[in-house]
Amino acid sequence: MGTPNKIKKEMKVMKKILTGSMIVLMVLFLSAGLGLAGNGNGVGGGTGPINNILLGEPFDYLEVEVMDIVSSGAFVVDTADGEITIYGIGPDRYWESLEVYKPIETEIISVIGYVVVYDGDERHIATSITVGDVTVKLRDLETGLPLWRGQKKGQVQE
Q: Give residue 56's pLDDT band: very low, low, confident or very high (50, 70, 90).
A: very high
CA 148 to chain centre: 9
pTM of this structure: 0.65
Number of domains making up the chain: 2
- 3-class SS of residue 11: helix
| Nearest Cα residue to 47 out of 143, 156, 135, 119 | 143
Q: Which amino acid is at 54?
A: L
Judge whether residue 131 has pLDDT over 90. yes
pLDDT value at position 84? 95
| Mean of per-residue pLDDT scores for the chain | 83
42 part of a folded domain: no
Same domain assignment for residues 59 and 4: no
Same domain assignment for residues 55 and 128: yes
Judge whether residue 140 has pLDDT over 70. yes
Residue 122: CB partners within 8 Å, gap ≥ 6?
115, 116
Q: How far lies 43's CA from each of 66, 90, 134, 145, in Å?
A: 29, 17, 31, 12
Judge whether residue 38 has pLDDT over 60. no
Same domain assignment for residues 86 and 33: no
